[in-house]
Amino acid sequence: MFTSVLRTPLSYAKATAAVAAPSPLAQAADVGALISAAESKAPRFLAAAATEAVKEGPMGKIVPFSAKYFVACSIGGILSCGLTHTAITPLDLVKCNMQANPEKYTGIVQGFRVFLKEKASLSRGWAPTLLGYSAQGLHKFGLYELFKHYYGQAIGEENASQYKSLLYCAASGSAEFFADIALCPFEAVKVRVQTDPTFANGLMDGMPKIVQAEGINGLFKGLVPLWARQIPYTIIKFVAFEKVVSLIYAALPGEKADYSYNEQLGITFLAGYIAGVFCAIVSHPADTMVSKLNKVASAEGEGMGAAMSKIYADIGFAGLWRGLVARVFMIGTLTGLQWWIYDSFKVFVGLPTTGSVEKKKEN
Closest CA to 58 of 16, 2, 108: 2
> What string of H, E and C letters represents the secondary structure of the chain?
CHHHHHHHHHHHHHHHHHHCCCCCCCCCCCHHHHHHHHHCCCCHHHHHHHHCCCCCECCECCCCCCHHHHHHHHHHHHHHHHHHHHHCHHHHHHHHHHHHCCCCCCCHHHHHHHHHHCCCCCCCCHHHHHHHHHHHHHHHHHHHHHHHHHHHHHHCHHHHHHCHHHHHHHHHHHHHHHHHHHHHHHHHHHHHHHHCCCCCCCHHHHHHHHHHHHCCHHHHCCHHHHHHHHHHHHHHHHHHHHHHHHHHHHHCCCCHHHCCHHHHHHHHHHHHHHHHHHHHHHHHHHHHHHHHHHHCCCCCCCCHHHHHHHHHHHHHHHHCCCCHHHHHHHHHHHHHHHHHHHHHHHHHCCCCCCCCCCCCCCC
**Adjacent-strand bridge partners of 57:** 60
**289 in Cβ contact with 225 (< 8 Å):** yes
**Residue 104 forms part of a structural domain:** yes
**Residue 2 forms part of a structural domain:** no
Closest CA to 298 of 217, 209, 225, 184: 217
**Residue 166 forms part of a structural domain:** yes
What does the pLDDT profile of the chain (363 residues) look like in tens digits? 434 434 443 443 444 334 334 444 444 445 455 545 455 556 666 655 555 656 778 888 888 888 999 999 999 999 999 999 999 899 888 888 887 788 888 888 898 999 898 888 899 999 999 999 999 999 999 999 999 999 999 998 889 888 999 999 999 999 999 999 999 999 999 989 998 888 888 899 999 999 999 899 889 988 988 898 889 889 989 999 999 999 999 899 888 888 899 999 999 999 999 998 888 888 778 777 776 776 655 555 566 677 777 777 777 777 777 778 877 887 888 899 999 999 999 999 999 898 866 666 655
Euclidean distance between CA atoms 65 and 42, whole angstroms:
8
Euclidean distance between CA atoms 230 and 284, whole angstroms:
10
Give the pLDDT of residue 139. Answer: 96
325 CB burial (10 A radius; 0-12, 13-18, 19+)? middle
Q: How many CB atoms lie within 10 A of CB 278?
A: 21
**206 in Cβ contact with 152 (< 8 Å):** no
Number of domains in the chain: 1
Give the pLDDT of residue 79. Answer: 97
User: What is the distance, to the nearest Å, from the Cα of residue 90 to the centroid of all Cα atoms in its chain?
Assistant: 19
Give the pLDDT of residue 148. Answer: 93
Range of the domain at 153: 68-348
**Residue 260 forms part of a structural domain:** yes
Euclidean distance between CA atoms 204 and 189, whole angstroms:
10
Closest CA to 145 of 49, 256, 263, 7: 49
**Residue 193 forms part of a structural domain:** yes
**Residue 59 forms part of a structural domain:** no
CATH, residue 137: 1.50.40.10
**Residue 79 forms part of a structural domain:** yes
Give the pLDDT of residue 50. Answer: 58
**Residue 9 forms part of a structural domain:** no
Angle separating helix axes 203-214 and 126-155, nearest 10 degrees: 70
Read off φ and ψ for residue 57, nearest 5 degrees.
Answer: -135, -170
Q: How far apart are the first and last CA of the chain?
A: 46
